[in-house]
């Protein structure tokens, strides 16, 4: 890419200490995010997928600097924000906003919609005067398709979907370049989910927003995204453009995820990869490749050597990277050679 | 005769600001060995229906009316003692949250054994042997060691397997599974669904699967009941429902779920929305419950509630305009 | 086609109407106004009414009795309750009825003052330790230390250091109650800090002082109000105990604890001297606790289920 990415993340790490003992010393660490790198271009949607405990939500919060990072660089629009003092960071926060999962706990129950939406506008000094503030509030309500007169109501007077719209409006209030959607549609009912997904897509087109879409719902991700990064136990195991990832998964974990999602088509024949066991604890991640304990294709090398993330040849498109030793094998022995996606998903 | 017949079930709750008609006149049946799915969004009454079958609704503030015939016996007329003998024995239930539905201070073996000792009068030793057998059945490795463990020592997927083992311990004729995989990760969900399909062949219990996930329905159900705002709006064999849904709500629901692989086939770039909100169940709705959100609604729909009509063999829908064969009238 | 106005029984041909469902329980009558409020919140209504009654008695004590509660009448010692002495008279011939009425002033003053002071100070300490990690470990160890001493003993010890006066009683009980409030507020603050709306506020550039004022403080007030009522009740009991053992309100001022202390020696022969102040104390404490329970249920329906 010729232009610099909007957001660039290099070797991001976040380890949470576990305090224990009489003096509250650190007895262990949770390796929630353990060295991940990715970037997001202007107007692009990158999805971060993975199962609970893989660290995807921690990535979102770390980017927002809601807690100090353990290590790594976060570069937003050419500026390093990971080690920036809080006061310098504050005006820059405007460029990166967030929409959370739970529509109920993401709005302060003691604030009216007006005050919730006005808070970022005032903080970032965006409104020239009170008339401008008012105009901005009205425009925000309009953007998220809520009636103007709802602005004086309290959060509890709204349904889950409407509250999520308010959360989106708050994220838009600072006129950001990037929105982090942390499971933003996961808690919603099916029909409401579609409304919010469509709204997010419309807004992205309208405002040219970049999005980091953190989700465990692969069908929604595929619908929304340009590129996908798959996380497992604090590491990114595969990054690829949408069609490449769903059409030709190059990591056994991605393959298993795709084959595990129930498809709303009865009676289809699919190739199945059912993983054994559970995700190991991020306190004590396995040596070698972190996925080897559940991988159906694991061999000796996987247990000792951690595979690096590297480009993989993919007939479906450029920019496919994965961390798996299988790709060092000749194609005939590599179960992930070729495009298996259509068979896993029983489409096309 | 069907194993379970639910006839005009009504479950209402008294609240300070009106009667909540959570379930209002729902009828369906389950045949022996069959898997019936009840789908709908939150608040449609699907879970309340499940709880009503086992009479787990607190009365008051709740009240159940209608008839629930299990093997020909109306459970709503059964005494508390008779109900206790049925619950966990002939009809058992799996809940969504595998952490909170297990007792944290009892070993897994004790919890499986308890139902056996209670209902089948097994001795402590026999119950433990059977517990090991059940854990093996649900695919928990090292069952001998695991029976002595406590729920917190197991992962989420394991706990749900234990829940299934408890539910199946007494060889029930009917298993009610209320969102059994919703709290689980997708790879674990695949394991549990696989287990449920496998057990169905081996154990032969009928299953009532309550879920909001149409993918899960398509994978395991044989027949489907679609609920909306406390009413059954459509019922059909699973293929018919997904291939030619008759009720506009079902059509909207299917249209609003993206299919995995859409980027490969280049299908739909925009999801279908169902506009608006579910109506309050505290107000009586004179017409069709879906009329306020339906793209096809007319004055007739807001005035007259449609009856369930058979639109095709075994396929019923409550809509004035859904055609008997083919698509919806314009 | 407008069928909305069609009379029943004239459906268009081919239309199949569903059998209407009847309600299976009588309709809920939604009552507004005071009566509706009482029906929905009976504990608040009863507790609130009794607290109001006690406040009324305390404020209008001079109008409810014509006798001076401190007037001695040695000739009329230890009279049984009668038309002249409604609640009887004590061993110095003072009218117990008027002493009990005036005693309400001390109890309620101490109760309310302690509730307000302890809540305010506890709120401050709780906010500080909930937000500053370094301060937290120090403050909470001090609070743990204070809580390891029974609050009544702590209050007695503090009273031993000072002269007996209502102000000092308030001070002593407040200090004894602070750890409880601080712990509560700290717990609430720590859980509120984890709320997504606080994260969202941080992400939208809100400074820490505004986070506290706008997002944390308003959401601690509900649990704090409930806690304050319990502290109020507990402070009234502690005041009575302190006075009873002679370490509290000076004997000159009639307080329920003092009256009971004076009647202690005659308890077996003249039980009414102790009975009436004890009755008023019980009713007041019960009323305040009822009010607290009712507020807890009304302010946070989810919390009511947990406790």
Range B204-218 average pLDDT: 91
What pLDDT was estimated at residue C56?
A: 93
Residue scoring higher pLDDT (C1 or B291): B291
Integer Cα distance of C154 and A148 in angstroms: 57
User: Is there a contact between A264 and B274 if contact means CB atoms under 8 Å apart?
Assistant: no
DSSP C165: -
Instruction: Give chain C positions within 8 Å (CB) of A66.
Output: 199, 202-203
- Any CB–CB contact under 8 A between C215 and chain A? yes
CB B217 within 8 A of CB B224: yes
Query: For residue A282, which of A9, A18, A11, A64 has the smallest C-alpha distance?
Result: A18
Q: What's the predicted TM-score (pTM) here?
A: 0.87
Closest by Cβ to A194, choosing from B217, B265, B272: B272
Residue C84 clears pLDDT 90, i.e. is over it: no
Q: Following CA atoms B297, B300, B305, B309 in sequence, which dihedral angle do they give, to the nearest 10 degrees? A: -80
Mean pLDDT value of segment B142-171: 85
Q: Give the pLDDT band (50/70/90) at residue C215.
A: very high
Select from B287, B304, B323 the residue whose CB has the most chain C CBs within 10 Å, as the one to mutate to test that interface.
Answer: B304
- Residues of B whose CB is below 8 A from A189: 41-42, 212
| pLDDT value at residue B327 | 47
**Which residue(s) pair with A18 in the sheet?**
A28
Q: Do residues A188 and A100 lie in contact, with contact meaning Cβ atoms separated by under 8 Å?
A: no
Please indicate whether, in this complex, the C-beta atoms of B15 and C20 are within 8 angstroms of each other.
no
Band the pLDDT of A337: cuts 50, 70, 90: confident
- Mean pLDDT of the C145-158 span: 87
Test A94 with C197 for CB contact under 8 angstroms. no
Q: How many Å apart are CA A14 and CA A197, to the nearest integer?
A: 30
A176 reaches C (C-beta below 8 A): no
Q: Does B326 touch chain A (CB under 8 A)?
A: no
Which of residues 12 through 41 in chain B touch A, CB cutoff 8 A?
41
Q: Contacts of residue A160 in chain C, CB cutoff 8 Å? A: none
pLDDT, tens digit, 9 for 90 and up, residues B12-37 = 998 877 888 999 999 999 998 899 99
Are the Cβ atoms of B299 and C20 closer than 8 angstroms? no
Residue A94 in contact with partner chain C when CB distance is under 8 A: yes
Residue C79, C-beta contacts closer than 8 angstroms, at least 6 positions apart: C85, C88, C89, C93
> Which has the closest alpha carbon to C152: C82, C234, C39?
C234
Residues in B 203-222 with any Cβ partner in A closer than 8 A: 212-219, 221
Write down which chains contact chain C via at least 3 CB pairs under 8 A: A, B
**Confidence band for B329, pLDDT divided at 50, 70 and 90:** very low
ipTM of the complex: 0.89
A274 contact B CB<8A: yes
Neighbors of chain A with 3 or more C-beta pairs under 8 Å: B, C
Contacts of B72 (CB under 8 A, 6+ apart): B1
Task: Say if the Cβ atoms of C199 and A98 lie within 8 Å.
Answer: yes
C268 vs C95, C264, C273, C305, CA distance in Å? 19, 9, 10, 44
Q: Is the pLDDT of residue B267 over 50?
A: yes
Nearest residue of C to residue A23 by CA position? Answer: C137
Mean pLDDT of C194-201: 93
Is residue C80 very low, low, confident or very high in pLDDT (cuts 50, 70, 90)? confident
- Closest approach of A218 to chain B, Cα-based (Å): 7
Q: What is the pLDDT of residue A76?
A: 93
Contact C4 B302 (CB under 8 A): yes
């Amino acid at each position: 890419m010729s232009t610099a990415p909007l957001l660039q993340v290099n070797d991001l790490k976040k380890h949470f200490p576990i305090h224990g003992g009489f003096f509250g010393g650190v007895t262990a660490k949770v390796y929630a995010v353990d060295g991940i790198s990715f970037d997001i271009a202007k107007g692009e949607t990158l999805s971060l997928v993975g199962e609970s405990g893989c660290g995807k939500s921690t990535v979102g919060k770390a980017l927002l600097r809601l807690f100090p990072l353990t290590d790594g660089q976060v570069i937003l629009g050419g500026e390093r924000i990971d080690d920036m003092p809080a006061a310098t960071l504050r005006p820059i926060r405007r460029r990166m906003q967030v929409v959370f999962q739970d529509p109920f706990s993401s709005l302060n129950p003691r604030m009216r919609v007006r005050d919730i939406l006005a808070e970022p506008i005032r903080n970032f000094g965006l409104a020239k005067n009170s008339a401008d503030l008012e105009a901005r509030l009205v425009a925000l309500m309009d953007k998220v398709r809520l009636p103007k007169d709802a602005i004086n109501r309290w959060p509890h007077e709204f349904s889950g979907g409407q509250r999520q719209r308010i959360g989106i409006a708050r994220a838009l209030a600072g006129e950001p370049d990037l929105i982090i959607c942390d499971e933003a549609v996961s808690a919603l009912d099916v029909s409401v989910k579609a409304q919010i997904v469509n709204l997010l897509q419309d807004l992205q087109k309208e405002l040219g927003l970049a999005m980091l879409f953190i989700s465990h719902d692969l069908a929604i991700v595929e619908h929304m995204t340009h590129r996908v990064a798959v996380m497992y136990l604090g590491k990114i195991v595969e990054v690829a453009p949408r069609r490449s990832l769903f059409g030709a998964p190059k990591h056994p974990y991605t393959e298993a995820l795709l084959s595990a999602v129930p498809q709303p088509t009865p009676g289809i024949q699919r190739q199945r990869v059912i993983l054994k066991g559970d995700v190991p604890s991020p306190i004590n991640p396995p040596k070698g490749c972190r996925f080897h304990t559940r991988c159906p294709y694991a061999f000796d090398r996987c247990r000792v050597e951690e595979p690096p993330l590297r480009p993989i040849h993919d007939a479906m498109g450029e920019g496919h990277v994965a961390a798996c030793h299988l790709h060092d094998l000749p194609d005939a022995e590599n179960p992930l050679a070729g495009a298996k996606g259509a068979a896993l998903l029983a489409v096309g | 005769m069907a194993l379970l017949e639910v006839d005009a079930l009504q479950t209402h709750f008294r609240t300070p600001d009106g009667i909540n008609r959570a379930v209002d006149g729902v009828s369906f049946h389950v045949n022996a060995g069959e898997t019936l799915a009840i789908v709908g969004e939150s608040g449609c009454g699907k879970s309340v229906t499940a709880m009503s079958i086992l009479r787990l609704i607190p009365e008051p503030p709740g009240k159940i009316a209608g008839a629930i015939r299990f093997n020909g016996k109306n459970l709503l007329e059964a005494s508390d003692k008779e109900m206790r003998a049925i619950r966990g024995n002939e009809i058992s239930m799996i809940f969504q949250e595998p952490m909170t539905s297990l007792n944290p201070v009892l070993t897994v073996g004790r919890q499986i054994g308890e139902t056996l000792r209670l209902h089948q009068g097994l001795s402590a030793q026999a119950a433990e042997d059977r517990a090991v057998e059940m854990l093996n059945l649900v695919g928990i490795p090292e069952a001998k060691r695991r029976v002595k463990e406590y729920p917190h020592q197991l992962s989420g997927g394991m706990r749900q397997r234990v829940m299934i083992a408890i539910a199946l311990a007494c060889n029930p004729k009917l298993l009610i599974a209320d969102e059994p995989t919703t709290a689980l990760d997708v790879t674990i969900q695949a394991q549990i669904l696989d287990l449920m399909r496998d057990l169905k062949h081996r154990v032969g219990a009928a299953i009532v699967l309550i879920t909001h996930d149409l993918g899960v329905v398509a994978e395991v159900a044989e027949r489907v009941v679609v609920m909306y705002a406390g009413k059954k709006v459509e019922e059909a064999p699973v293929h018919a429902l997904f291939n030619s849904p008759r009720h506009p709500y079902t059509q909207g629901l299917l249209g609003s779920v993206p299919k995995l692989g859409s980027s490969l086939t280049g299908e739909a770039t925009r999801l279908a929305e169902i506009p608006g909100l579910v109506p309050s169940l505290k107000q009586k709705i004179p017409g069709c419950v879906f009329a306020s959100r339906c793209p096809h609604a007319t004055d007739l729909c807001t005035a007259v509630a449609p009856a369930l009509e058979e639109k095709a063999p075994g396929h019923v829908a409550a809509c004035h305009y859904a055609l008997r064969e083919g698509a919806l009238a314009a | 086609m407008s069928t909305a106005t069609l009379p029943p029984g004239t459906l268009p041909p081919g239309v199949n109407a569903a059998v209407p469902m009847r309600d299976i329980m009588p309709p809920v009558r939604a009552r507004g106004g005071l009566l509706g409020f009482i029906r929905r919140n009976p504990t608040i209504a009863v507790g609130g009414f009794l607290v109001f009654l006690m406040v009324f008695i305390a404020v209008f004590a001079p109008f409810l009795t014509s006798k001076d509660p401190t007037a001695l009448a040695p000739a009329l010692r230890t009279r049984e309750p009668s038309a002249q002495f409604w609640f009887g008279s004590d061993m110095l011939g003072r009218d117990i009825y008027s002493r009990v009425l005036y005693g309400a002033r001390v109890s309620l003053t101490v109760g309310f003052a302690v509730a307000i002071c302890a809540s305010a100070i506890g709120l401050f300490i709780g906010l500080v330790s909930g937000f500053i990690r370094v301060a937290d470990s120090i403050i909470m160890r001090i609070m743990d230390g204070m809580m390891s001493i029974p609050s009544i003993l702590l209050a007695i010890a503090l009273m031993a250091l000072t002269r007996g006066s209502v102000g000092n009683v308030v001070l002593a009980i407040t200090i004894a109650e602070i750890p409880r409030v601080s712990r509560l507020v700290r717990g609430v603050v720590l859980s509120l800090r984890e709320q997504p709306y606080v994260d969202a506020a941080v992400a939208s550039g809100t400074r820490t002082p505004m986070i506290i004022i706008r997002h944390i403080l308003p959401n601690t007030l509900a649990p704090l109000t409930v806690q304050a009522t319990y502290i109020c009740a507990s402070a009234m009991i502690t005041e009575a105990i302190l006075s009873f053992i002679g370490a509290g309100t000076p004997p000159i001022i009639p307080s329920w604890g003092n009256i009971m202390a004076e009647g202690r020696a005659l308890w077996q022969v003249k039980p009414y001297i102790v009975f009436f102040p004890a009755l008023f104390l019980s009713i007041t404490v019960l009323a305040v606790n009822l009010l607290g329970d009712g507020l807890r249920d009304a302010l946070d329906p989810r919390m009511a289920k947990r406790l």
